[in-house]
């Protein structure tokens, strides 16, 4: 039990590292919470201060999920959780998922940024990449296609969130891939959480008022005011 608690605590603090907020401040001296959507996530960093801070934030956020689920969860020894075999689940996969989910919660409610964080999509992607790289690779391809064709980051994120558990089910039950069933359960729960976190984006998409990514340059309004 103590090993699991230590894993979850480390994962939370990893997830709490505010990549977009810190990268924007270091590279441009800008607090992105004061501009754009006011969200301290990678998408707002792209919109407000440009691609350098956006890419750095995305890498940091993705890496938090990879480290929590793929490194922290595997390096601290934990005894097998009883009765998991009834569901066909493996302890290692479940612990990795728990660590990753806590990292996502840390990203959404970071102790290093007054508990005001992003929506956790990049960190969730990193978590799932550590556990099933092929499935998340296909999911990221879906994300890229939707983003390039629509230029809506929110729509791409929502589509990818639904695509992941769908792909897990297809690969496991149609093609016999050796995927732990817990990935499907957590994938569904994660998709629901991401959809819930994007309620405002969904409303704007339906109303036609959602912001698109039209450039990788900093927002012209800020440049014009000499704020970068």
- Strand (E) or helix (H) holding 186: helix 181-197
pLDDT of 39 > 80? The answer is no
Q: State the total domains in the chain.
A: 1
Coil, helix or strand at residue 79: coil
pLDDT, tens only, 48-69: 777 777 788 889 999 999 999 9
Pair of tokens at residue 54: 């956006």
pLDDT tens readout for residues 164-174: 999 999 999 99
The dihedral over CA atoms of 7, 70, 129, 85, expressed in degrees to the nearest 10, equals -70
> What is the overall mean pLDDT for the chain?
84
Q: What is the pLDDT of residue 221?
A: 44
Average pLDDT rounded to a whole number, residues 24-44: 80
Q: Tell me the percentage of the chain whose pLDDT exceeds 70.
A: 89
208: which DSSP letter?
A: T
At 156-207, the pLDDT tens digits run 989 999 999 999 999 999 999 989 999 999 899 888 988 988 898 899 999 9
pLDDT value for 87: 65
Chain segment 78-112, per-residue pLDDT in tens: 766 666 666 678 888 889 999 999 999 999 898 88
Asked if the model's pLDDT at residue 11 lies above 90, the reply is: yes
Neighbours of 168 (CB within 10 A): 26
- Per the structure, the complete domain to which residue 205 belongs is given by 2-224
Sorted by sequence, the CB contacts under 8 Å of residue 110 that are 6+ apart come out as: 15, 16, 17, 18, 116, 117
The pTM is what?
A: 0.78
pLDDT of residue 217: 54
């Amino acid at each position: 039990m103590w090993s699991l608690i230590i894993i979850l605590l480390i994962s939370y603090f990893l997830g709490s590292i505010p990549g977009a907020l810190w990268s924007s401040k270091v590279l441009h001296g800008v607090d992105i919470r004061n501009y754009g959507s006011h969200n301290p996530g990678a998408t707002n960093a792209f919109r407000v201060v440009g691609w350098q801070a956006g890419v750095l934030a995305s890498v940091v956020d993705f890496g938090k999920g990879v480290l929590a689920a793929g490194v922290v969860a595997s390096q601290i020894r934990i005894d097998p959780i009883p009765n998991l075999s009834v569901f066909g689940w493996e302890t290692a996969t479940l612990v990795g998922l728990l660590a990753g989910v806590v990292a996502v919660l840390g990203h959404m409610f970071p102790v290093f940024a007054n508990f005001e964080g992003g929506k956790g999509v990049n960190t969730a992607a990193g978590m799932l990449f550590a556990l099933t790289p092929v499935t998340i690779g296909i999911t990221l391809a879906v994300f890229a296609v939707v983003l390039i064709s629509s230029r809506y980051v929110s729509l791409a994120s929502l589509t990818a969130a639904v695509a992941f558990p769908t792909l897990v089910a297809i690969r496991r039950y149609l093609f016999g891939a050796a995927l732990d069933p817990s990935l499907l359960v957590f994938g569904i729960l994660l998709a629901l959480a991401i959809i819930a976190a994007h309620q405002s984006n969904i409303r704007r998409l339906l109303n036609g008022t959602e912001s698109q990514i039209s450039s990788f340059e900093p927002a012209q309004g800020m440049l014009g005011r000499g704020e970068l």
